[in-house]
């Protein structure tokens, strides 16, 4: 399935309202990934789960193809990020629904299977499940969301199981990365650069922008473009209220209280640096690699030139195929 499309004709990139399915770590199934505002349509353990899904999306008695199915397994993670939306009493619990998930995914048609945690690369059962999915769904594009802070032996798993992965950076200096995530950035950089160099899997690199690290965004962008990552993303970090039982509610942007003169001067300097980097690399963007995505908040926060804005997708789509 994945080999039959080019970027210009791929339904994941040209459709305005993609069909999305989200299966969270509790087995609840949602009609999109914004689980903090959308009620679930069913549970994976329901006897009529497949019928409910198809009837909801395609009409009674009908079937179709989803653009993306996101599977969230255990929230177990070795990072300790400030604005994590999964820091609750269930954080260390194992995922309970692999036996139900496998037959369900075999029956649902989709272009993308998107796996996330927690951190999957420290969860042996999640990795083994993804290996099973690779065998029973050989034509699906399998994508992994990760912090990439993994040993090099995890590369073999990624290359044999995944078609693409997105690695998130909460900062791009050793000090800020360790402060926010309590991890070693050089381990993550080594992991990313090895995967990109091997060219067996498409690598996306995401920078989570916050007041603590906005001055490092230019360094991240220059590095990501120079490595010719398939996809480069700059996304605003948000604050969440996380309740003990696991419910997360987005409350505000981390930038909401940073509008004084001091911060405005920083925004101006960061804007100047980002514009220079984009101008220097404009011929290498969106030409088979280095597809750029940012949220619309970036253009509200920073002064990116009109020409450079044309290089950046703002509809939330990660072009990584």
The answer to whether residue 140 is domain-embedded is yes
The answer to whether residue 278 is domain-embedded is yes
The answer to whether residue 165 is domain-embedded is yes
The answer to whether residue 230 is domain-embedded is yes
Question: How would residue 166 be classed by pLDDT, with cut points 50, 70 and 90?
Answer: very high
pLDDT tens by residue, 205-214: 999 999 999 9
Alpha helices in 118-173 (DSSP H): 124-136, 154-161
The answer to whether residue 195 is domain-embedded is yes
Residue 142, domain CATH: 3.20.20.70
pLDDT of residue 236: 93
The answer to whether residue 318 is domain-embedded is no
Residues of the domain holding 240: 2-313
C-alpha pair distances (Å), 187 with each of 2, 273, 274: 31, 26, 26
pLDDT above 70 as % of the chain = 95
The answer to whether residue 299 is domain-embedded is yes
Alpha helices in the chain (DSSP H): 11-14, 49-58, 98-107, 124-136, 154-161, 174-181, 185-198, 217-226, 261-281, 297-301, 306-309
The answer to whether residue 319 is domain-embedded is no
pLDDT of residue 1: 40
pLDDT tens by residue, 278-293: 999 999 999 888 999 9
Count of domains forming the chain:
1
């Amino acid at each position: 399935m994945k080999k039959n499309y080019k970027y210009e004709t791929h339904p994941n990139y040209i459709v305005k309202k993609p069909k999305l399915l989200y299966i969270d770590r509790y087995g609840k199934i949602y009609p999109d990934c914004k689980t903090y505002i959308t009620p679930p349509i069913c549970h994976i353990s329901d006897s009529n789960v497949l019928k409910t899904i198809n009837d909801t999306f395609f009409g009674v008695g009908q079937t179709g193809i989803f653009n993306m199915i996101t599977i969230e397994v255990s929230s177990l993670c070795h990072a300790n990020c400030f604005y994590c939306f999964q820091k609750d009493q269930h954080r260390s619990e194992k995922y309970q629904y692999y036996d139900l998930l496998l037959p369900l995914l075999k029956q649902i048609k989709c272009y993308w299977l998107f796996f996330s945690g927690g951190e999957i690369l420290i969860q042996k059962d999640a990795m083994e499940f993804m290996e099973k999915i690779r065998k029973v769904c050989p034509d699906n594009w399998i994508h992994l969301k990760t912090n990439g802070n993994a040993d090099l032996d995890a590369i073999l798993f990624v290359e044999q199981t995944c078609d693409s992965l997105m690695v998130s950076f909460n900062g791009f200096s050793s000090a800020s990365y360790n402060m926010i995530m309590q991890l070693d950035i050089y381990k993550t950089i080594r992991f990313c650069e090895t995967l990109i160099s091997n060219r067996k899997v498409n690598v996306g690199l995401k920078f989570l922008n916050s007041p603590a690290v906005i001055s490092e965004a230019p360094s991240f962008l220059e590095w990501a473009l120079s490595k010719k990552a398939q996809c480069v993303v700059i996304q605003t970090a948000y604050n969440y209220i996380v309740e003990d039982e696991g419910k997360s509610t987005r409350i505000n942007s981390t930038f909401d209280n940073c509008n004084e003169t001091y911060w405005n001067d920083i925004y101006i300097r960061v804007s100047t640096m980002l514009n220079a980097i984009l101008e220097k690399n404009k011929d290498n963007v969106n030409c088979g690699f280095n597809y750029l995505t940012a949220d619309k908040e970036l253009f509200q926060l920073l002064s990116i030139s009109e020409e450079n804005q044309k290089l950046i997708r703002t509809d939330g789509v990660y072009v990584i195929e």
